């Protein structure tokens, strides 16, 4: 098992309201939704270009290999957007890319 940083790009059909952003960050960070997004480190997890409707999530997952890590990151991204109130078709999620590995 190793710890992987996975970058997941995508698009959203509607703006991400502040409460939805907190909920999304709580899912991906495992934090209290009332506190997620309050501190600067959360800015590294989600980059959002509101006018264009594009986003990039940087997720850390534990997995046996790169393929499993990508699948885990996609699942986490889908769950986070669902918890934030986005229907399945309202978010386009792109191919995940491994951007960091710690197998130590």
Q: How far apart are CA 104 and CA 77, in angstroms?
A: 25
- Region 42-51: what's the mean pLDDT? 79
User: Per the confidence metrics, is the pTM higher than 0.85?
Assistant: no
pLDDT tens column, 21-44: 999 998 988 644 444 444 444 447
The Cα angle at residue 57 between residues 52 and 58, in degrees rounded to 5: 145
Q: How far apart are CA 26 and CA 59, in angstroms?
A: 12
At 48 the three-state DSSP class reads strand
> What's the pLDDT at 24?
94
> What's the pLDDT at 94?
95
From 27-31, 68-72, 96-100, the region with the lowest mean pLDDT: 27-31
């Amino acid at each position: 098992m190793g710890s992987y940083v996975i970058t997941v790009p995508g698009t959203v059909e509607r703006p991400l309201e502040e409460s939805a952003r907190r909920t999304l960050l709580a899912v991906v960070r495992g934090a209290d939704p009332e506190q997620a997004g309050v501190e600067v480190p959360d800015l590294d997890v989600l980059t959002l270009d509101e006018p264009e409707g594009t986003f990039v999530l940087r997720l850390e997952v534990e997995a046996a290999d790169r393929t499993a890590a990508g699948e885990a990151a996609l699942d986490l991204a889908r769950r986070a957007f669902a918890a934030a109130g986005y229907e399945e078709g309202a978010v386009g999620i792109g191919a995940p890319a491994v951007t960091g590995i710690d197998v130590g």
